[in-house]
C-alpha cells in the first residue's frame, strides 16, 4: 500500500492537470493532492487565481484518481504534509525538477514530464483575445 502526494494550484483545470493526477495515481494506491491556497498563489505568482481555492478543491475532489484533497497553505510545510498523509512518493511536474530533492529523506521524489503546449497562462491569453 503506497501513498502518493502532489501539489498544485490547478487553476482553470485542463488536460495537463488531469494527466499528472492520472500518472501520479498510477504510481501507488492512494493519491493526496494539496491545492495551493489563493494567498499562496499570490505569493508564488503575484496574482490571485481565476478560480477561488474552494472551487479548485471541489474540482480536484471530483477527479476519480484523487482520494484526498487538502489546502496547501505554505511551500514550507511540505514535510508536515508528507508526514501527515504518510506519503511514500512526492510527485511533481518537471517544471519543478530539482526543487524538491531536499525532501528525499522523507519521501521518494518523482518529477513527471509536463504535458506540452497546454497551460493556464496560455488559456487565459486565448480567452483574452476572444
Ligand atoms: N502540469 C503538467 N502539465 C502542464 C501543466 C501543469 O504536468 N501542461 C503539472 C505541473 O507540473 C504541476 C501540476 O500540474 O505538477 C499543477 O500545476 P500548477 O497548477 O501550475 O501548480 P503550481 O502553481 O506550479 O503549484 O508546492 C508546489 C506548488 O504548489 C505547485
Q: How confident is the model at residue 23 (pLDDT cuts 50, 70, 90)?
A: very high
Q: Which of 45, 84, 108, 128 is catalytic?
A: 45
Q: Rounded to two decimals, what is the model's pTM?
A: 0.96
Domain locations in the chain as residue ranges: 3-129
pLDDT tens sequence across 25-39: 999 999 999 999 999
d(CA 45, CA 122): 15
Class of domain 3-129: alpha beta
Indicate which atom in ligand 1 lies nearest the CA of residue 92.
15
Question: What is the ipTM score, two decimals?
Answer: 0.97
CA distances from residue 114 to 47, 81, 95, 100, 130 in whole angstroms, order as listed: 22, 23, 7, 16, 26
Q: Is 49 in the pocket of ligand 1 (CB under 6 A)?
A: no
Contacts of 37 (CB under 8 A, 6+ apart): 53, 71, 72, 73
Amino acid at each position: 500500500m503506497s501513498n502518493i502526494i502532489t501539489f498544485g494550484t490547478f487553476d482553470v483545470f485542463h488536460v495537463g492537470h488531469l494527466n499528472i493526477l492520472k500518472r501520479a495515481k498510477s504510481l501507488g494506491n492512494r493519491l493526496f493532492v494539496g491545492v495551493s491556497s489563493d494567498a499562496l498563489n499570490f505569493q508564488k505568482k503575484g496574482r490571485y487565481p481565476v478560480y477561488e481555492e474552494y472551487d479548485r478543491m471541489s474540482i480536484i475532489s471530483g477527479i476519480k484518481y484523487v482520494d484526498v484533497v487538502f489546502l496547501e497553505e505554505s511551500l514550507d510545510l511540505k514535510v508536515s504534509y508528507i508526514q501527515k498523509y504518510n506519503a511514500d512518493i512526492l510527485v511533481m511536474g518537471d517544471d519543478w525538477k530539482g526543487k524538491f530533492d531536499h525532501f528525499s529523506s522523507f519521501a521518494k521524489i518523482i518529477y513527471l514530464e509536463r504535458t506540452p503546449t497546454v497551460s493556464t497562462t496560455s488559456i487565459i491569453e486565448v480567452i483574452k483575445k476572444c
